[in-house]
Amino acid sequence: MAISANHFFIGIAVILAAILFLFKPVEIKEQTKVRGEVPALELRTFTLYELDINGLKDVMIGQIGYRFKDRIEVKDIDYTDSTRSLQNNVLADFGVYNGKDLITLEGNVRYYREDGMKFRSNKAVIDQKEETITAIGPFEMDKLADNVVGDDLFYDMEKGLSKANNVTGIFTLIE
């Protein structure tokens, strides 16, 4: 039983018609745009570890992360720095890392240090090179029995010194 050329072309025509009328095109999901930009990388529910020759330097945990050409943006950031003599941890609703030394945190910022010092603010900037944290606007700070409230906290992590404006609180003085 030989197939004629007519049967072959009719079969091809039926297959093409079936493709044309029965198959639906694949829907391509639109790329996420953040403030009009398309991120180079998007992460969801992630943990990033930074290691060097001495071991673990820091850990960043986030719910959503976007990497752009000049910065990394993270929602629900949890950042732990293990490079200092006292480990410290900071949490916030949103964080932006500029790729160099600055981390800007916004919304429910909470800083905890291994020795019990902690502060809360709505906005803070961490300068990793200078080893400082600046809480912009009102803040609350606690360490052991000391409780302080004020504005515009500047904290030097290396020296353990802090300064602020409009400070009121309960302090334990050493004689």
Q: Which pLDDT does position 34 carry in this prediction? A: 63
Q: Which of 129, 123, 78 is nearest to 104 (CA)?
A: 123
Partners of 73 in beta bridges: 66, 96
Between CA 39 and CA 31 the distance in angstroms is 9
Domain count, the chain: 1
At residue 156, does pLDDT exceed 90? no
The model's pLDDT over 74-119, given as tens digits with 9 standing for 90+, comes to 999 998 887 777 788 899 999 998 877 888 999 999 998 888 888 8
Q: How far apart are alpha carbons 44 and 86 in whole angstroms?
A: 30
DSSP-assigned beta bridge partners for residue 94: 75, 106
CATH code (residue 99)? 2.60.450.10
What is the pTM for the complete model shown?
0.72
For residue 31, tell me if it sits in a domain.
no
**Per the domain annotation, does 141 fall within a domain?**
yes
Q: How far apart are CA 128 and CA 102, in angstroms?
A: 6
pLDDT in tens, 21-68: 777 777 766 656 666 778 888 889 999 888 888 888 888 899 999 888
Q: Exposed, middle or buried: residue 14 (CB in 10 Å: 0-12, 13-18, 19+)?
A: exposed
Quote the distance between the C-alpha of residue 7 and its chain's center.
Answer: 63
For the chain, count helices (H), then strands (E).
1, 9
Show the domain range for 142: 41-168
| Any domain includes 14 | no
Is the Cβ–Cβ distance between 94 and 75 less than 8 Å?
A: yes
Query: Closest Cα partner for 72 from 39, 48, 121, 50?
Result: 39
Rg (CA), the chain: 28
Instruction: Identify whether the C-beta of residue 88 lies closer than 8 Å to the C-beta of residue 80.
Output: yes
Cα of first residue to Cα of last residue in the chain, in angstroms, is 111
